Amino acid sequence: QVELAESGGGLVQPGGSARLSCAFYGSQFAMYVMSWYRQLPPKQRELVAVVTSGGSTNYADSVQGRFTISRDHAKNTVYLQMNSLKVADTAVYYCHARRIDGHYDYWGQGTQVTVSS
């Protein structure tokens, strides 16, 4: 079993920054591809950023150049640095882990990010 715990959400002004954290509780953190998704109902959940065990990253076009995903293997933690935030970035942000063998995946409970003046 793996548990993911997001933190760092809150109210941010447009143009501001925030850093989300996802703590990975379990074993073999390096065996998981880690991702951030976001959802603002009624829209469907969308992929925001991905980081592999080796540190390769991919981003949604909407956040490219503004967001940075990273992982700290020593701390079993994934981060999402969000800069130049826009109102459209308002959503619940979810951490996701997918084991590289494809046999397991896990979701965090989500953390609310509200961008508003």
pLDDT, averaged per 10 consecutive residues of the chain (117 residues), comes to 97 98 97 97 96 95 98 97 98 97 95 97
Instruction: Determine the Cα–Cα distance for residues 36 and 95; give it in Å rounded to an integer.
Output: 5
Predicted local confidence at residue 4, as pLDDT = 98
**Residue 30 half-sphere exposure toward CB, CA atoms < 13 A:** 3
Q: Which residues does residue 25 pair with via DSSP β-bridges, in sequence order?
A: 3
Predicted local confidence at residue 13, as pLDDT = 98
Which residue from 90, 108, 80 is spatially nearest to 43, judged by alpha carbons?
Answer: 90
Predicted local confidence at residue 55, as pLDDT = 92
Instruction: Determine the Cα–Cα distance for residues 28 and 76; give it in Å rounded to an integer.
Output: 9
Q: Which residues does residue 114 pair with via DSSP β-bridges, in sequence order?
A: 11
Predicted local confidence at residue 28, as pLDDT = 96
Predicted local confidence at residue 58, as pLDDT = 98
Tokens, residue 107: 């979701």
Tokens, residue 76: 């079993």
Cis amide leading into 42 (omega within 30): yes
Predicted local confidence at residue 107, as pLDDT = 98
Instruction: Determine the Cα–Cα distance for residues 26 and 49; give it in Å rounded to an integer.
Output: 22
How many C-beta atoms surround the C-beta of residue 13 within 10 A?
A: 11
